[in-house]
Structures are given as C-alpha cells and as structure tokens.
Chains A and B, each alone.
Chain A
Amino acid sequence: MEQVFKRPVSLKDVQTHFCPGCHHGTIHRLVADAMDFHGVQQETIGVASVGCSVFLYGYFDIDVVEAPHGRASAVATGVKRARPDRFVFTYQGDGDLAAIGTAEIIHAANRGEDITVVFVNNTTYGMTGGQMAPTTLVGQKTSTSPYGRDRKKDGSPIKMAELLAQLGGVAYSARVAVDSPKNLIQAKKVMREAFGYQAQGKGFSFVEVLSACPTNWGMTPLKANARVGEEMIPYFQLGIFKQEGNE
C-alpha cells in the first residue's frame, strides 16, 4: 500500500515539548517540508531564537546555531556572509522578532540578506508566561496587560509582514495561518515559495505565521484554534504582500 502521509525527513522522529494545541509543531512541519521540497536539508544552517522554539535543534535534523534573544537575524547574517553557499533560515517568535529584535530584523531585511525568516505570531510571549507582545491585540488580556491592551498606552499590534514588505531588500513577504485545512495548504505553498526565493538567490524572504498559544491564552486547544480565525485573521490579514519578480 502506498504511504500518502509521512514525516518530512528534515524532522526528527521525536516528541516535541510543545503544549497540546500549540501551532509551533505544525509550523515546524511546514518548515521541514519546505526544506525537503527544495532538497536543502543537508546544506541548511538553522538559527534558533529564544522563546518556546529554542529547541529547534532537537526537532530539525540540521546544523543549528542558537542566537541570543532577538538577535537571530543578525546571527543569520553572519552565518550567511560566512557561508553564502549554504541555506540559512531563522525561526523567531513575536517577542523575539518584533520587540527586542526589531532593529536586527529591519536591517537584515533592508540589506536584503539572502536568508529566510519564519516569524511565529502568537500575540504573546509564550515562554515567559504570556506577557503582552507587540502583536497582542487591542483589548487582549495578558499577564502584563491585565485590563486589556490599551491602544493609547501600549500602541497597536504591529504588522510585521506588511511593514517589511516596504523595504527595498525584501524579495518576499507573506502572512499565513495554520488553523484550517485551507489555510494550511496555502501556508505550505507559501513556505515552499519563500524558501524557493533563497534557493534561487533572490534575496530576503519572510513568512509570518499566525499561531495559537492555548496555554497562555487560557483556552482549550480547540478554542485557541478557533480564535486564530475569529480574532487574529480579521486584524492580521492573510496574504502575500511582496513577491519580487511576480508583481
């Protein structure tokens, strides 16, 4: 009998530490699929960030450098300049990329570093226990916005995929979700496309993935999954915001 669904070879055959219903595991699978699709597993160097995805090396069967919190894009810049013949990606949360690491992501993107950045937006700081993130929705309660995010005091949730699409160095910028089969199919396509941009040396590619964090949202896995479609997608619209050579 033909096997129609199997683990990407870039993923290790191990259990993850992610909470039940967390989308990190699904996103890992998409990244591994994109590596498999382009046949680059053996020549890839991944850059892990500080957040719930810090154990990247435990799940991906590739070489990995662990970056300080927020600095993955700078570390990846150093890696790619030293090994331009290698495939380099970072995997960063929204605290990591859109708060403490904002300078590094903007400038790596603006320089047009030939790397791929996978950005996991779960509207909170997962690892440290659900504090407010730059992506926390207005009104959303977190452990440090107990009265809900106040647009006047805390600012508006930052839209990284749109923001980066404005920069000259960016070749590809998109936002996807993994909450439904339809969105998942699109996410898989986009992830492959983004990695393809690097495989062809076209420049900086960026994929923002909307992600559920049931634990810190205080929801069941099913409710958390539903929240992605009900609350996140209306604000963080899905789409491809830049696709150089395909305008």
Chain B
Amino acid sequence: MSKRLFVKGNEAAAMGALEAGCRYYFGYPITPQSDIPEYLSRELPGLGGEFIQAESEVASINMLLGASACGKRAMTSSSSPGISLKQEGISYMAGSELPGVIINISRSGPGLGGIDASQSDYFQSVKGGGHGGYHIPVLAPNSVQEMYDLTMHAFDLADLYRTPVMVLGDSVVGQMKEALVPNPRPQRELPEKDWAVRGKGGGEQRVVKSLFLGDGELEAHNWKLHAKYQVMKEKEVMYETYLADDAELLVTGFGSVSRIAQTAIAMAREEGLKVGLFRPITLFPFPEKALAEAGIRAGRVLVVELNCGQMVEDVRLAVNGKAEVGFYGRPPGAGSLPSPEELLDVIRKSCARI
C-alpha cells in the first residue's frame, strides 16, 4: 500500500507524470501552475530526465513535439494565456499523431484577466483550440488525488490513441492541499511506438509530419483522425454521479465547481430536495449518452460553471430538448467563486419551479 501524503494539486500532477514514466518536461513560468515546473526541475535530473525552462510556451510545446516524436513520454504545463500560445503546436501534434501531455491550470481571462479559478477555457480545450478541426482528450480533475491519477491516465490515453491529451484544472485544484495516495501506475497494454524517429539504423525511413499534399491524402487523414475520436467516444468516457438516480433536478459541472455543487446538493437533500450531481470527468469525449439518460430521467438539468456558459452548450446538445436546461454561471475574478450556500439558493429556486 502506498502511504498517504498531503500535497498540492499541482505537485500531485507532477508526481503522477513521474510515476507514468514521463522524463521530459518543457515549460515556461506562469501562475498558478509554476509548482509543476518547480517540482520537476528538482526531480527530473536525478531520474536521468531532462527539464528545460524554455524561452516561451511556443518553444516548449515544440520541444515536447520533438521529444515525443522520439517516442518518449513528455509533458508541458501552463495556464490559459500560455495555452493559447501552445495551440499551434498542439494542432501540429494532433496532425502528426504525436502523444504528449499538456496540463492547463487555467486562469481567468480574456487577455491577462487574472489568476483566479476559472473555467473559461472549456471551449478552447474541448473544441480543438488550434486550427484544423481536431480534438484531444480533455480530463477534468476535481481533487488532488485526481490530479495525480488523471495525469497518469493522460499518458496512457496519449500513447493508446497517438494524440496530445490535456488535463484541465484551475487554481482551486492546482493550489489546494489534500490527502494523496500515490498509487502505482496501472499496468496497461500499450501499442509499440513503431512510428518514432530513431535514426534509421539500417531500417526503414520514418517521418513524423502533418503535411499531406497527395491526391486525397489529407481527406483520408482527417477521416482517420475522426474515426479515432469516435472510438474515444465509445471507450474513454469518464464521469461520476452523486445521488443522481432519484434526482428530479440534476446539477452538472466539472472540476472545482463540482466540489462546491456536491456540498450544496448534500445540504439540499437535508431539506428533502431531490437533487443529484452528474460530473463529467472527460470533457472530450463528453459523456453525452450518460448525461442525456440521467438528465432526461430527472427532467431538469442545472449547469453550473465558472464562466458565462460554455459546457452548457454541450449539455443542451446531449439532452436535445428532452429535458429543461438551466444555467448558473460565475465568470471569473476575485471573489467570484460561489459558496455552497449560494448554490443551494439557486438549487432551491430551480426546484421551486418544478
């Protein structure tokens, strides 16, 4: 049994990466994620790994591209403005079918915004933030334990599907300290990296690229990527429910806000209100089937986000008019985090209207 530790979410993510076998990290400082590079700059040299504080987020995502092209497990991390700069590289990695993990401890925007907890990078993360119509798996931890577990999982998904994977948190899950059980990496059968460049060594030439100019080549490539996304939707959906079976109001939210919602729901239950929680853990692939089932069963869904309404669009698509969808959003900024009591109030009002 692993011992229990008491650590920050950001450190837990870095520890998860090391346990997953990641030995290459490239990043650029930005609050509120700098604990990740700080931790890895201490640990990687002793493990025979490489740590580079790059000249920019643009450079660091491209260093990741290079290390990943060699078949190595590699990672970068940043926060919203830095993730914007990485998007071109993420698009190239998606196009070149390169694995790699990107942690986004997002902050508030637009522009320089602020460093408060925010979920306004939902669109950017799940809709293919760069050019060219791709998707990447996006995992949304809501605890320190999940920062560790999901970062480890991200590396497996990346290798399984040959895709960049994003772990999307915010300063709540990144900065808070909680108990962590640093479980050993799960054993998973993963495909051989027979595509990685290595110097021919007498073998076949290998090329990692995203340029496809031959007749029909790029269309075929896009259909191939699309097919991968369909398999992810079948196999990789993750979500969690809380008191959802008999709920007449289904609250849904991801990441940090789901913790507040869960407390509010427990308070509502004490008042006899039939409320439950549906928490997407994978934002891509979005748990559309399970959410539709639970939402339609309840008849009414309340989407809670730390923004002006992003995931709510996917919830509406999922229930497709068969359940009523309400929204409570708190755009980011100091003092903008809703308290459980505030959410309870919103829940009461939603229930009163049933």
Contacts and interface: CB of A to CB of B under 8 A. Distances in A.
Given A79-B70, A103-B55, A86 B198 contact: yes
A68 B62 contact: yes
Nearest to A57: B207
B205 A62 contact: yes
B335 interface: no
A229 to B, nearest CB: 34
Interface string A59-93: 00111111110010011111111110011000000
B50 interface: yes
B70 A82 contact: yes
B83 interface: no
B65 interface: yes
A82 B198 contact: no
B26 interface: yes
Q: Which of B64, B207, B210, B211 has the most CB of A within 10 A?
A: B207
Contact of B52 (A64, A76, A81, A87): A81
Interface string A80-122: 1111001100000000000000011011000100000000000
B200 A82 contact: no
Contacts of A42: 199-202
A61 B204 CA distance: 9
A86 B59 contact: no
B205 A107 contact: no
B67 A57 contact: no
B195 to A, nearest CB: 10
B273 interface: no
Contact of A68 (B70, B88, B198): B88
Contacts of A44: 199
A57 B211 CA distance: 11
A74 B61 CA distance: 9
A66 B97 CA distance: 12
A54 B67 CA distance: 20
Contacts of B62: 67-68, 71, 74-75, 78, 104
B58 A45 contact: no
Nearest to A106: B55
A47 interface: yes
B206 A103 contact: no
B74 A45 contact: no
Nearest to A104: B59
Contacts of B68: 78
B89 interface: yes
B63 interface: yes
A41 interface: yes
A171 to B, nearest CB: 19
Nearest to A78: B66
Interface of B: 24, 26, 50, 52, 54-56, 58-60, 62-72, 74, 88-89, 92, 96, 197-202, 205-211
Interface of A: 41-45, 47-48, 54, 57, 61-68, 71, 74-83, 86-87, 103-104, 106-107, 111
Given A65-B66, A68-B89, A78-B67, 11 more contacts: A42-B200, A63-B200, A65-B209, A74-B59, A75-B66, A78-B24, A78-B64, A79-B66, A82-B67, A104-B62, A107-B54
9 contacts: A45-B198, A57-B207, A65-B66, A65-B69, A66-B96, A71-B62, A74-B62, A75-B69, A78-B68
